[in-house]
Amino acid sequence: MSNAPELYLIFETGGAQADAAERLTALLSAQPVSSLLLRAAPGTALDAATVKPLAALAQKRGVAVLIDGDASLARLIKADGVHLPWSKDPLKVYREARETIGAHAMIGADAGRSRDDAMALGEDGADYIAFGIPAHVEDRATAEARQCDLINWWSEIFEVPCVAFDVATPEQAAALADAGADFVTLAVTSDLTTRDATARAKIFAAAIAGAEAAA
């Protein structure tokens, strides 16, 4: 790898809006973040009133803002794009999202563990390919090793950026950085305090920077 991967923040909305804005501001101030994905907390749904001020806050700092799985909402609030979670027919979902959000918005798509789906999405114009680990997978160690292999394969052959999703630990973040990920995600859940969230961001940033230094 010639450059260290960038930190891609997944920010779970929920709780009081003022608290969410304060937590997001602290996170964006703690570490450089290239992209922000706004995701609903469990049992809730994203809506324009909740995500628009958070998106505006990040965009003023030069951070690209994506909405999780909702191209219509992304278009409504003028987000930079949409992230498409893993699905059984990702190319169909991608094409529907592109029709909704337009040619100039960013669309990233999670290909799961399918090389064929990843290549099809890349050929069809996805702005990044994500490799994640679906929640139903029980053997996480095997899944994490496969994820590293997929990212290494993709980064060596293709120019479309790849993003590592479902990164649970700093050690996993470092391994994915070493494998060639262009972006490594950090998920911040709505139940984390601002102090804990910023501490976690610093640890993840150090892990991916350390992997690059070691390489």
Among 8, 60, 31, which residue's Cα sits nearest to residue 164?
8
Q: Which two tokens stand for residue 15?
A: 């709780």
Domains of the chain by residue range:
6-214
Q: What pLDDT does residue 1 have? A: 38
Q: What pLDDT does residue 166 have? A: 96
Which of the four pLDDT bands, split at 50, 70 and 90, describes residue 2? very low
Q: What pLDDT does residue 14 have? A: 77
Q: Which fold has domain 6-214?
A: TIM Barrel (3.20.20)
Q: Tell me: the pLDDT tens digits for 91-112?
A: 999 999 999 999 999 999 999 9
Mean pLDDT computed over 161-179: 96
Which of the four pLDDT bands, split at 50, 70 and 90, describes residue 18? low
Mean per-residue pLDDT of the chain: 93
pTM of the prediction?
0.94
**Distance (Å, whole) CA 178 – CA 8:** 16
Residue 134 has pLDDT above 90, yes or no: no
Q: Tell me: the pLDDT tens digits for 109-132?
A: 999 999 999 999 999 999 999 999
3-12, 64-73, 98-107, 153-162: which range is least confident on average?
A: 3-12
Contacts of 71 (CB under 8 A, 6+ apart): 82, 96, 97, 100, 101, 107
For residue 202, what are the CA distances in angstroms to 34, 207, 209?
15, 9, 10
Q: Tell me: the pLDDT tens digits for 48-92?
A: 999 999 999 999 999 999 999 999 999 999 999 999 999 999 999
DSSP 3-state of 120: helix
Residue 203 has pLDDT above 50, yes or no: yes
Mean pLDDT computed over 145-152: 97
Contacts of 56 (CB under 8 A, 6+ apart): none
